[in-house]
Amino acid sequence: MLIKKTILIASISKIKQLRKQDMSTATLVEGIFEGNKAILARAITLLESSKPEHFEKANAIIEKCLVKPVKSIRIGITGVPGVGKSSFIEVFGKTLTDLGKKVAVLAVDPTSTLSKGSILGDKTRMETLAKDPNAFIRPSPSGESLGGVARKTRESIIFCEAAGYDVILVETVGVGQSETVVHSMVDFFLLLKLSGAGDELQGIKRGIMEMADAIAINKADGDNLKRAKLAETEFARALHLYPPKENGWTPKVLSCSATENNGIIEIWKMIQDFIAQNLENGHFEKNREIQNKNWFLQAVDEQIKQLFHQKKSFKTMQQKMLTAVGQNKISPFYAAKTLLDNIAKELK
């Protein structure tokens, strides 16, 4: 008993010590590789920081993490508030940890800067999963732009994978472009829906059906069960109208109940089928490669913009051109070209 208490005190003081110290990159990398949750959380905090020295350190850690070979599955989960995302993730995550998996839950919530956020804001969500030693839950990073939030989440995925998490769940709400952003960072995209009174197909944002690899009709329980089954048929019919996916996968429709833990394992089995099929036909790797290349191109675009806005002389030139365009003295296209020619001259 006394020994246990001493060990506990020692480990608490070690954690406190770790918190106080400005950990070296090597210590952080070591901690991540050991699967230390506190260190993983600290590394993610570095990613989210706006301090240049933290940015440098985070990048050094990413570099080390990238060389570690990992096999993971990244799953995006979306649905309107109230559909049952957190209830679903709680029971789905627990199913996976019971199967011996390590599960990380991240979120992309573009509203988190303005309000407290729609998802993962309060600690009461996913209470059981949060206590599971094989689960790691991190709320959405805040950021002025969705691009910034996306970058931080993508890099958090790399850290989580290096820490041994083999299933990464990325949750998002249907706000703005957040679904597209999450779709561009995952292997499998799951849309959670509710059955309604015959209007299942209404109110779905354009493009979201096309992105979904599966639709799960949640709350298929009690009085709702019959309606959920009807919705299943209706969605399945609607999905058939879309052109087949390049990877050969036919999107599936299932129903589930997060509160009654029904249909959850079936969703996992379906995802495993998807992964197996995509690994075999080469689309798994191909998709990740395309995602990485797109991410790089986006990053280049963003950094060019940043570079432009940071330089005062460029802004002055732009202002001059803007006035000239406003007065119809120069065509917008020619003005843009002249501006860029001038910038190129200044950069030489």
Shortest Cβ 195–ligand GDP spacing (Å): 11
Residue nearest to ligand GDP (CB): 84
Strand partners of residue 6: none
Query: Judged by CB, which is closer to ligand GDP: 31, or 84?
Result: 84
Are 231 and 269 a contacting pair, CB within 8 Å? no
Judged by beta carbon, residue 225 or residue 339, the one nearer ligand GDP is 225
Distance (Å, rounded) from C-alpha 242 to C-alpha 219?
26
Task: CB nearer to ligand GDP: give 82 or 100.
Answer: 82
Quote the tokens at residue 135: 């689960």
Q: Which residues bind ligand GDP (CB under 6 A)?
A: 79, 81-87, 218-219, 221, 257-259
Cα–Cα distance for residue pair 161/259, rounded to 1 Å: 29
Closest CA to 188 of 68, 274, 118, 252: 274
Q: Give whichever of 81 and 248 is closer to ligand GDP, judged by the CB atom.
A: 81
Least separation in angstroms between residue 94's CB and ligand GDP is 14
First to last CA, the chain: 71
Closer Cβ to ligand GDP, 85 or 183, answer by number: 85
Name the minimum Å distance from CB 229 to ligand GDP. Answer: 14
- Give 217's DSSP letter: E
What φ, ψ does residue 108 adopt, rounded to 5°? -120, 105
Instruction: Please identify, using beta-carbon distances, which residue of 61 and 192 lies nearer to ligand GDP.
Output: 192
Q: In the complex, what is the shortest distance from the CB of residue 259 to ligand GDP, in angstroms, rounded to a whole number?
A: 4
Alpha-carbon distance of 161 to 43, in angstroms, equals 13
Instruction: Say how far apart CA 277 and CA 135 lie, in whole Å.
Output: 27
What's the min distance (Å) between Cβ of 142 and ligand GDP? 19
Compute the least distance from the CB of residue 255 to ligand GDP, in Å: 9
3-state helix, strand, coil in the chain (%, to 5): 55, 10, 35
